[in-house]
Each structure stands twice: as structure tokens, then as C-alpha cells.
Structure 1
Amino acid sequence: MPFLDRLQHWAALRPDANAVTIGAERLSYAELVDRASVRARELAGESSGGPTVLCRPNGLAFIVDFVAAVARTGTVAVLDPGWPALQRSAVERMLQGAGPSTPPAAAPADLRDGPSDSIFLYGFTSGTTALPKAFTRSRDSWQRAFATSAAWFELGADDRVLAPGPLSASLTLYALAETLSAGAAFHTLERVDVGDALDAVAHAGVTRIVAVPTVLRLLGERGLTSGVDAHALTGIVSAGARLDGATLASVRNWAPGATVFDYYGAAELSFVSARRLRPGEHRTGSPTAVGRPFPGVEVRVLDDAGRASAPGTTGTIFVRSRLVSAGYAWGDDGSAFARTGEWCTVGDRGHLDVAGELHVEGRLADMIVTSGSNVYPQEVEVTLLSGLGGAAAQVVVTGLADARRGTLLVAAVVEESGPDAPAVTRADLRTAAADLAAPKRPRGYYRITELPLTGAGKLSRRLLAAWITEGDPRVHRLD
């Protein structure tokens, strides 16, 4: 594992320091090393070839198994426990014999990192029906990332980091490893629960939060209304989706002393670009902006012919860095992750402006084809939200199957809460959509009582489409 040598270092230097806390359970650095060493020997006896498969909810057992399974040259495949049984079984069959098994039994002193160029992790793209693609990561890709990200996000050994998402999600799993590498204390929850997260902030001395924007929005709003003291927070890290202005304002109001970091990246690419705002600083510029290239990362935008796009001109975003994944173990059809020499892409579309800041306009996988036109839902969402002028908390755009157009473009709005918040009407949305080209204007509008989120707290346009199609009570058509 890319942090086991560092884990041993901290266990020797600060054996009683808190390493991980989940709910009421905790392990010190010395206890984590001891338990993982024992578990590594057990896994060696259980191994039947291929990576160790880890598919369980958040808990100390997850962390101990994760550390143990990747000692030396071991590999681990982290599956989402929320997957349907058939999907999980199909992935497990693909993993049999896919890579090196857990290494032979080792003494506690041998709970150490393997060769830097060796594979240690099988991660997975999200999906609910199709077999997820499995991407692989070398130890070197995370070792290099730790060295840069800890410095850029100002993570130190005295920090207490709360990452309230599922450990099966790349964002939370990386936060765990990064925190342990830095010698800090890692906190998470048995399940994503805003109340429990706020309790940790109030009573566990949490100094940093790492979460997706939807979770941060809930924490900021509920923390402020509940009077949860957030003055101990020095850092808030947002990732997994664009940090919108409303969410930024919410967390800044709740935790005015925290530096807010947000970064753009992908599980296959790692960090691509990032920004940070010190207390009192205000973000300006386009809502599509996602910051400048991350340290050690080169970014370029190419047109469909493979030529460099001029500043401000939309094309496909390519990345060159030592942080990217090793590629796919299976399912590589070139539509999600592609490599051209040293340059890699996940199909995101965007542009670089004249100042060198990256703008992301949409992902190829999210593109909706309606009446022969290509529409990126993110562009429509940003335009509608801006046009509503604060009347909506969030807008979500998705596509519905349609015999005439192939896909019918629709939009759903979550209204701002509060007695003085205005109700959003269909006329309001149509007026906001007037700034869009005709093919990008939604053909149907809905009000939803909550956001359609995955188990990791990420926005799911696919789930919204299912809600609408199935007549879910959380959806109301605007006439």
C-alpha cells in the first residue's frame, strides 16, 4: 500500500495517537498496525488467487482489511456494497485470477509498501445495470499524489479529518489513505448522515471536512440553523462535482474561518485542477471554471481533429501527469478513459481561458442526444439556475426516452427553503431557458422535494429519470 511505510512510522513515533474513528469505535496507530498485521496473515491463508475482494459497509473491519490486503505486493478490489447481487457476482467472477493474490503470511514488521510500479487497487466506475469497468492503480500514482495533495490542501499531522461518505467511493478511500500517510486522525460514519456528521464537528474536534458538494450544502445549511459551532474547522475540501455558488455561500456562512478547497478530477485521472479560497475571499468568474492545473499536472484541450483548441474554444480535455490510473482491467471501449501516448482523457468537454484557468462544460458520458443535437446537462443547469436568480437551490437536467426525439430533455428544480422563498413556476423556468439555444431548452419541467443522490451523495441524473418515469411521489410536474 502506498502509505504502509508511513503508517509504521507514525505507529512508532505516536503509537497512542488516534488513527481512525467510526462512530463510537476508534483505533490508535499502534492498534491499527497490530490488527492489520494479524489480518494480513489470515488473508494469506484464505487467498484463492486474484485480488482480495472488499465489499462491506463503513467500519473498522473495512479499514483493517484494506490495509492488510495490500501489504507488500497485495492487491484489493473495493466493491460498492449497495450493488445488486447479480452485479456483484459478475464483478467477482471477472476478478478471479485478475491479479496477484494476497502475499504470504508476514510478521508485523513486514506490513510495508510494495514496489512503486506494482498494482495495488482495483476501483470501479459507477453503474446500476451494466458491468462496471475496473480501473487499476499503481502504488506510485498514490505515493506521488500524497506528497502533492497534503501540501496543497494544507493537511498536517494535527488535523482531524471527517470524510462522511462511503469508503467504497474513491473520494473517501483516498481521504483515508492520505490522512494516514500524513499522520492525522481520520473520522467517518457508518452511513452518510448529516446529523451524525454535525455531531462529529461539534464534539470530536474535527478540523477538516472532505465531501461532495451536495453533502457540504446540507452540512452548511443544517449546521447554521442548528447552531453547530464550526469555528474549529480550518479546511473544507469539495470534490466529485462542481462546487456551486450557493453551496460555497452556505459553508462559508457556517464555517467562516475555514479555507475552502475544491478540485476537479476523475477516479481514473486523479487530480486535474484545483482552487482555494481563504477566509473572506470571494470567488469570481464563470460558473464553469474549475481552477488551474494541479501541481505536476499538464492540461490541454483538443478539437475533434486532435489539434490544440484556441483559448475559449470548447474541445476535449486531456491530462498528462504521473497521477493517472494504469487503465482498465476490463471493459475498455475507449468511451470513458482513453490514452494517446502520455495524454489521457475521460471525455470531459471544456476549454482553457486566456488566463490558463480550466472550464468544464460537460462529460461525454453525460451528453444527451435529443432531436439530433448534443446537449450537456451541466450547461443547461448552470443557465437555468442563474436565470432563476436565487429562487432555486438546485436544478437537475436529465433525458427521458421519447419516440419522436429519441430523448426528451427535461429539468427539475429543488426550491429554496424558508417562509419567504418564492415558488418557481414553469414560466420562470421557460424565461430562464430563453438564453439557451433552442435544442438545449427543456421540453418538460418538474419540482422535486429532494435531490436524486447515489449512496455516495453524488447527483444522479439517471435516478431522476427513473423517478419521473415511475411516478415517484418526490416529483411533481409543473404545468
Structure 2
Amino acid sequence: MPFLDRVARWAEERPEELAVVCGAERLSWRALVARAAALAASGAPTGVLRQGNGTDFAVRWAAGVAGERECAVLDPLWPDGPAGAVLRRAAPRLPAAPAPARLRDGDPASSFLIGLTSGTTAVPKGFRRSRDSWRRSFEASADRFGLRPDDRVLAPGPLSASLNLYALSECLYAGAVFTTLPRFDVAAAHAEIAGRGVTRLVVVPAMLRVLAERGLAASVDAGGLTAIVSAGQELDRRTEEAARRWAPRATLWEYYGAAELGFVAARRRGPGQPAVAPGTGVGTAFPGVELAVLDDDGRPVPEGTPGTVCVRSRLVCDGYLWGDDGRAFGELGGMATVRDRGFLRDGQLHVLGRSADMVVTGGHNVYPQEVEAAVAAVPGVADAVVTGVPDGARGQRVVAGVVTTHGRLSRRRLQDGVASALAPAKRPRHYVELDELPLTGSGKLSRGLFRDWVLDGDHRVRPLG
């Protein structure tokens, strides 16, 4: 694994300094190495990691990828059906009684992680990732985001989610203190930030909003934060403005990527810079990433023209182990892609959404992310989510769900608000009001869940007149 040799270095240079913190649990670099080395040498099974947050998670993760071992990290909240299906597929690569291993990095070209796409109903896809791909990722992200050994990083979400698993591993590589919580808790997160010297925050936007808004309301001091790294979905204006007021010294980083592709693009807003207007832009190419937008034949499209977002980099995974249906990770024009649609303009990548999310209505292709950006720009809208539902006349019709900043918005006001931003075919035919966005267990926006809510007449969906 690309961090074990570095962990040994930190244990030698800074043995009693903190390495991992979870609530009341504390683990020094010396203790981390001792416990992980003992587990790796014991021959106990370490290939499956399915547990909640805690310092023991870090120990088992380090032991699970020692030498040439591979590890599959499962969300402990997944139902037994999908989890069991994953375990059956992964079993041939994960011996029940592995040979004892030393706590050291394996061959850079070898696979260490059986990565899993998120999902609770279908069987998650499994892909393999090499040690070298994450070592290069650590080098690039630590440099781009400015992570240093004297930083203390808080990632309050589940460690089974790729965002937080990577943050843990990156800290082990860089020598920074990694802090998490037994479960997401606003008061506990505030205590870490205000009272225990946290300098960096790694979160999805939904978590950042509640931390910032409640932090402002409770006068929680976030002046020590120097960086906030956000991913999973676009950072909306309301969340960004709250974060800016709450943590005025923090640089805000957003990045776009995928578990299969690694980092693709990122954008930065320094302290004092104004919030970015809602839109589809996600930033410029990450260091070492070649970025292109191609047509269906694998040829570059003109600037500003939508196509398939493709990358060439050393950060990409090594392919699927199972679940390859040809509609997700693959190759186009000699480059890797997860079938996201987007376009390039002035060096900036704009992402319109997955091909699978595209709504085809009356013969027109509509990308939800573009419509969401237009709806979110209407005064009084805090958040928006868009999907397509069956329509006998059009094939599908565009439905938008809105979370308002205060009070109710009329359908007419929303229609008027998007009229100048969207062509008629792209404008929502139906608006509903939501109290909150539909999110996955790891805090990412789920358009599929929103579609289910609409079709099922869920109580969380209220039509707007």
C-alpha cells in the first residue's frame, strides 16, 4: 500500500505524536504501527473491512493492505443482500487465512483495494486499484490542496465512503493527524474544530452546510480552519456563503472525480473571494491529468459542445472485477471515462451529469445538472434536484424538486426564473417542494431516489401550485 512505508517513517520520527483520533479514542504513530503489524503477522483474515468509524478501522485498513494483500471496504449499513453478493464475488481474491505479512508497501503495480461503487439495492460494482495509482494521487492532492504534516484533518463522515477512506490514507501518507467521529454529530464536530486545533475539513456539501449554519448560530469558532475540501456534488451558493462567514480564513476547494478515475478537476476560492454563481463548472484539470471531451466516435468536440468527459492519467483504476455493464467505467478514444457528459470552455470543465441521468423528453436530451443550476439561481431557492419521469406524450418529463431558503415559492415564479436560462424543452414541467435533498448514505445527491419519491407519492414531495 502506498502509505505503509511512510507510516513506519512517522512512527520512527514522531512515535508518541497522534496519528488517528476518533471521539475519545487516540492512536499514536507508534501504537498504529505496533497494532497493525501484529494483526498482519497473525494470519487473521483482514481482506474484508466492514465496520463503523474508530481507530481500529485504521489498524485493520493498514493490516489489510500490507505487503501484497488486497482489502474490500464495505459500508456496514448495506443490507445483507448486496453485502453478501459482494463478499461472494470478492472471496476468490481474499483468503480466509492469509499468509502472515510484514507491514510494508507492496509492489507498486499490484492491486491493494477492491473498490466498490455505492449502492443499496443492486449489487455494487467492484474494481481494482493499484498501489501506484494512490501513491501518485497522494502526491498530487497533498500538493494541490496544501496538506502538511502539521495539519489536523477532520473527516466526520463514514470511513467506508471513498472520500473519507482516501482522506484517512492521505493523512497517513502525509504525516498529518486524521480525526473522525464515531458517527456524524454536529456538536462533536464543532468541539473538534473549535477546541482541538483542527485545521482542515473534508466533507460533502450537505455536511458542510449544517456545520456552517449551526456553527454561525451557536457562535462556534472556526477561525483555525485554513482549508475546506468538498466533493460529491456542487457546492451551492448558500452553503458556500455560510462556510465563508463561519470559517473566514479557509480556502475552499471543490473537486470533481470518480472512484474509478481518481481526481479529474478542481477549483479553488481563497479567503475573501465571492461565492461562485450556480453553474456546471467544476474547475481545471488536476495535475497530471489530461482532459478531453469526445463524441461517440472518440473524437474531440468543439469547445463548448457537449460530449463524453474522458481522462488519461496515472490515477485511473485498473478496471472492473465484476459488474461491468458497459454503461459506466470504460474507454473511449483511448481514454478512460465513467460516461459523464460535459464540455470544456476556456480551460474549465463543465459537467452536465451521467449519461444514465439524462432525460430524453420530446426528442431532446436534457442534462439534470444544467437544469439544477438554473433552478438554484432563482431567488429563494436553496437547493434543487432534477430527474425525469415517464410521460406518455414526451417519453419523459422534467421534474424539479426545490428546497427553499424561506417560505414557499410559486410554480409561476420558478417558471419565470428559468425562462431566460433554459430552452423550452429543458424547462421543468413539474415542480415539487422538498424539506431536504435526497441523499445517499455517504451524503451524495441521489437523483434516482428523488425519482422514486416522485413516482411513489412520497410524503417528502409536495406539489407546488
Please give the range of the TM-score, normalised by the shorter of the 2 chains: over 0.9
Residues 238 and 262 in structure 1, CA contact (< 8 A), matched pair in contact too: yes
Q: Where does residue 4 of structure 1 map in the other structure?
A: 4
Q: Which moves more between the two structures, 65-74 or 468-477?
A: 468-477
Residues 269 and 324 in structure 1, CA contact (< 8 A), matched pair in contact too: yes
Offset at residue 430 of structure 1 (A):
1.7
> 2:271 is matched with which residue: 265, 270, 279?
279
Q: Where does residue 57 of structure 1 map in the other structure?
A: 52
* % identity of equivalent residues: 54
Q: Where does residue 388 of structure 2 map in the other structure?
A: 399
CA distance in 1, matches of 2:392, 2:94: 45
Q: Where does residue 360 of structure 1 map in the other structure?
A: 351
Q: Where does residue 37 of structure 2 map in the other structure?
A: 37
Label 1:369 to 1:190 Cα distance change in 2 as closer, same or farther (>3 A): farther
Q: Where does residue 443 of structure 2 map in the other structure?
A: 457
Offset at residue 370 of structure 1 (A):
3.3
Give the AA of the match of 1:446. Answer: V
Label 1:296 to 1:11 Cα distance change in 2 as closer, same or farther (>3 A): same
CA distance in 1, matches of 2:428, 2:16: 57
CA distance in 2, matches of 1:138, 1:11: 25
1:433 aligns with 2:428: no
CA distance in 1, matches of 2:175, 2:257: 25
Listed one character per residue, the Cα deviations across residues 387-435 of structure 1 (whole Å, up to 9, x for unaligned) are x12x01101112334455443421111111xxxx453111112222323
1:92 aligns with 2:87: yes
Label 1:276 to 1:46 Cα distance change in 2 as closer, same or farther (>3 A): closer
> 1:336 is matched with which residue: 301, 316, 328?
328
Q: How many residues align?
A: 464
Q: Where does residue 243 of structure 2 map in the other structure?
A: 251
Q: Where does residue 381 of structure 1 map in the other structure?
A: 372
> 2:69 is matched with which residue: 69, 74, 81?
74
Within a 5 Å distance, the mapping from 1:59-458 to structure 2 comes to 59-98=54-93, 103-106=98-101, 110-282=102-274, 287-340=279-332, 342-353=334-345, 355-386=346-377, 388-389=378-379, 391-416=380-405, 421-435=406-420, 436-458=422-444
Label 1:282 to 1:33 Cα distance change in 2 as closer, same or farther (>3 A): same
Give the AA of the match of 1:104. Answer: A
CA distance in 2, matches of 1:458, 1:111: 34
Q: Which moves more between the two structures, 288-297 or 126-135?
A: 126-135
Listed one character per residue, the Cα deviations across residues 256-280 of structure 1 (whole Å, up to 9, x for unaligned) are 1011111111111111111222211
Offset at residue 342 of structure 1 (A):
4.8
CA distance in 1, matches of 2:241, 2:141: 24
TM-score normalised by the chain length of structure 1:
0.92
Equivalent residue of 1:287, what SS?
A: coil
Residues 74 and 102 in structure 1, CA contact (< 8 A), matched pair in contact too: no
Give the AA of the match of 1:3. Answer: F
Offset at residue 103 of structure 1 (A):
5.0
Residues 73 and 103 in structure 1, CA contact (< 8 A), matched pair in contact too: no
Q: Which runs of 5+ in 2 are unaligned?
A: none
Residues 73 and 100 in structure 1, CA contact (< 8 A), matched pair in contact too: no
Offset at residue 244 of structure 1 (A):
2.5
Q: Which moves more between the two structures, 227-236 or 397-406?
A: 397-406
Residues 74 and 100 in structure 1, CA contact (< 8 A), matched pair in contact too: no
Equivalent residue of 2:164, what SS?
A: helix
Offset at residue 150 of structure 1 (A):
0.7
CA distance in 1, matches of 2:394, 2:122: 24
Offset at residue 57 of structure 1 (A):
1.5
Equivalent residue of 2:93, what SS?
A: coil
Label 1:299 to 1:477 Cα distance change in 2 as closer, same or farther (>3 A): same
Label 1:102 to 1:117 Cα distance change in 2 as closer, same or farther (>3 A): farther
Label 1:128 to 1:368 Cα distance change in 2 as closer, same or farther (>3 A): farther
CA distance in 2, matches of 1:369, 1:83: 32
